[in-house]
Amino acid sequence: MVEIVQDFEPFFGYSGRNIPDTGAFQYLRKLGVVDIGSNSVRMVIFDGAARSPAYFFNEKVFCGLGSGLANSGKLHIEGRLRAISAIERFVNMAKVMGVPQLTLIATGAVRSSSDGSLFCDEIKRKTGKEIKIIDGRDEARLSAQGVMLGWPGAYGLVCDLGGSSMELAEISKGNVGKCSTSELGPLILKELKGGRKKRKQHIKVIMTKLAEEMGPQHNRLFLVGGSWRAFAKIDMLRRGYPLHVMHEYRISLSSVKKTIKFIEASELENIRKKCGITAARIELVPIACEILSRLVSTFKPKDIAISSYGIREGLLYENMPQELRDRDPLIEACYFSEAKDARVPGSGNHLYKFVLPLFSRPSKELKRLIHAACLLHDVSWRANPDYRAEICFDNATRSNLGGLKHSERIFLGIALMYRYRNKPIGSQFENLVYLLEPKFVQKAEVLGKAMRLGAMLWVNDSRQPAHLNWKPRSRHLTLKLNSKGVSLFGEVAEARYNSLANSLQAKDFTIKVDKKPKSIEAEKFAQTKSFLTSS
């Protein structure tokens, strides 16, 4: 594990909110993981590894190391050759990319096989890299930590389904509780003699033991692993669900039953083509359905969520200091994006203070979305102006952002779209907007138009030249300008203010300037417009 150094100076961006560039922390900036699983070998390189890391590189090779393991007790011969070839290539690519730390881990198939240690020795000879074999309970813990990387304050039961094993872990208040492991992987069950009936009996027996070990787990069920993601894609297909983002996708208990029946009644090849699932993965989906059916009936979760984060992200989380873990992954990702892409990094926080008075007693969840939108309000300025609003919507709804429900992605998308245009939501987005309650669609529009106005009234300056005041009961909106704000306010800004007032359905709206303007321009402005003045 990376040694944690507590005394440090910030290195990144105007806010100083990211990890330092000194000592052991430098290894968190670009961290590589090669995950050698029963079904596939994947390398992920995390870049700018703050609370919400970016995926600098992410590639998977299906090897099937665990195929036939239940009968032979050894790694699959062809799969072994494919895995060695893939790992050699990944190690060389990491060297070329200058990754300072590359960790190789192996799970189910390697730890269960009689020749797993020989496989690790061969990798060491050919690449110089040690493979760390993760035992089942550690795998459960790391997967749970991966879920916590993406969900601040997550609680419930994490189920990581690999090719040769299934792990369970409970999480609550930022901690991992009880963990368990079993040989309920689809590759193992595929080799079980006696057909489907025998397989279901076996799954029931093992699941009953797991329930005794884990105790009651009736909260949220987080699903981790490729087979679960494939199931989620099929659930989206059956429902006609429009937002094809795996992370935070929710599946109801009734939908689980319907999708299982849909799979049983369909040709797998047709489903595979429509969903873009590989042939190796779709073959295991029916067995994964049998496991999921028993898992749900045994633990009776209140709801189900898909997590794109798992053991690899769990390793990253494990190397983070607590100060970094405690940050909000959404806000951290937005800070990173603003510092990297905005024309005026730092203006997002000023804009946040400007727009917040429009929202009466906002919840904590709404405030973080408003803050995120303000930080992202200018990161797409390089896009063609004719398509900038649409690109903003796509970026918000489909970007790799943690800590976001699908409805919250839509909220961000609508707000950022209105930041760049005054037109109503286009027909191309209507199939997504229904995922958000109408009252939040209206709030997103107000936020977008407020950002559109506020972006004109200052650059990066801590002295705020304009203030908004909104009285929801009387529906009265006021824009107060100081001397600097007056100098920035023109015809376009006035039109944007009027548009904001219309979105709020304001009965009346006014503009006030300082009673004693500090410039001749401000005095002329007040006289010309005949606006109200205040002290």
Residues contacting residue 473 through CB under 8 Å, at least 6 positions apart: none
Q: Is residue 91 part of a domain?
A: yes
How many domains is the chain partitioned into structurally? 4
Q: CA geometry: angle at 188 spanning 116 and 140, to 5°?
A: 70
**Which of 134, 160, 185 lies at the terminal end of a domain, its last residue?**
134
Q: In sequence order, which residues have a C-beta less than 8 Å from that of residue 43 and are 6 or more positions away?
A: 32, 33, 34, 35, 57, 58, 59, 90, 93, 94
User: Which of 177, 267, 187, 254 minimizes the C-alpha distance to 214?
Assistant: 177
Q: Is residue 2 part of a domain?
A: no
The tokens describing 113, both together, are: 């096989």
What pLDDT sits at residue 400?
81
Same domain assignment for residues 297 and 215:
yes
Same domain membership, residue 445 and residue 393 = yes
For 251, the enclosing helix (H) or strand (E) is strand 250-251
Asked if the structure places residue 3 within a domain, the reply is: no
Q: How far apart are CA 90 and CA 111, in angstroms?
A: 21
pTM of the model: 0.87
Say yes or no: 176 and 64 in one domain: no
Cα angle for residues 276, 412, 401 (degrees, 5° grid) = 55
Q: Looking at the structure, do residues 197 and 264 belong to the same domain, yes or no?
A: yes
Residue 491 lies in a domain: yes
Please tell me the predicted confidence (pLDDT) of residue 514.
74
CATH number, domain of 223, equals: 3.30.420.150
115 token code pair: 């020749």
Considering the domain boundaries, does residue 504 fall inside one? yes
DSSP code string of 43-96: EEEEES-SSS-EEEEEEEEE--TTTTHHHHSS--HHHHHHHHHHHHHHHHHHHH
**Per-residue pLDDT at 516:** 55
Residue 13 domain flag: no
Residues 157 and 285 in one domain: yes
Residue in 37, 55, 38, 59 with CA at minimum distance from that of residue 46: 55
CATH number, position 439 = 1.10.3210.10
299 and 173 assigned to the same domain = yes
Looking at the fold, whether 142 and 117 belong to one and the same domain comes out as: no
* Closest residue by Cα to residue 166 from 197, 189, 196: 189
Q: How many angstroms separate the Cα of 215 from the Cα of each of 170, 171, 207, 209?
A: 10, 13, 12, 10
Whether residue 1 is contained in a domain is answered as no
Domain stop point among 134, 165, 197: 134
Q: What is the CATH number of the domain that holds 34?
A: 3.30.420.40
Asked if 172 and 155 count as a contact pair (C-beta separation under 8 A), the reply is: yes
- Domain extent, residue 28, equals 23-134
Whether 430 and 480 share a structural domain: no
31: number of Cβ within 10 Å: 23
Whether residues 148 and 290 share a domain: the answer is yes
Looking at the chain, how many residues does it have? Answer: 535
Same domain, yes or no, for 186 and 308? yes
Q: Are 349 and 390 in contact (CB under 8 A)?
A: no
Which residue do the tokens 């279901």 mark?
Answer: 200
Residue at which a domain ends, from 455, 485, 513 = 455
Which pLDDT tens digits describe the chain residue by residue (535 residues)?
A: 222 222 222 323 333 344 444 444 444 567 899 999 998 999 999 876 467 778 889 999 999 898 988 889 999 999 999 999 999 999 999 999 999 889 999 998 899 999 999 999 999 999 999 999 999 999 999 999 999 998 878 899 999 999 889 999 999 988 999 999 999 999 899 988 888 999 999 999 999 999 999 998 889 999 999 999 999 999 999 999 999 999 999 999 999 999 999 999 999 999 999 999 999 899 999 999 999 999 999 999 999 999 999 999 999 888 888 888 888 999 988 998 898 899 989 899 999 999 999 999 999 999 999 999 999 999 999 999 888 888 999 989 988 888 899 999 999 999 999 999 888 887 778 889 989 999 999 999 999 999 999 999 876 666 788 999 999 999 999 999 988 888 889 899 999 999 999 999 999 999 998 765 454 454 555 555 544 443 3
What's the rounded Cα separation, in Å, for the pair 291 and 269? 21
Q: Do 289 and 232 form a contact (C-beta atoms < 8 A)?
A: no
331 neighbors 371 (Cβ within 8 angstroms): yes
Q: Do both 300 and 431 map to the same domain?
A: no
Residue 429, classed as helix, strand or coil, is helix
Domain match, 209 and 143 both: yes
Please check whether residue 466 lies inside any domain of the structure: yes
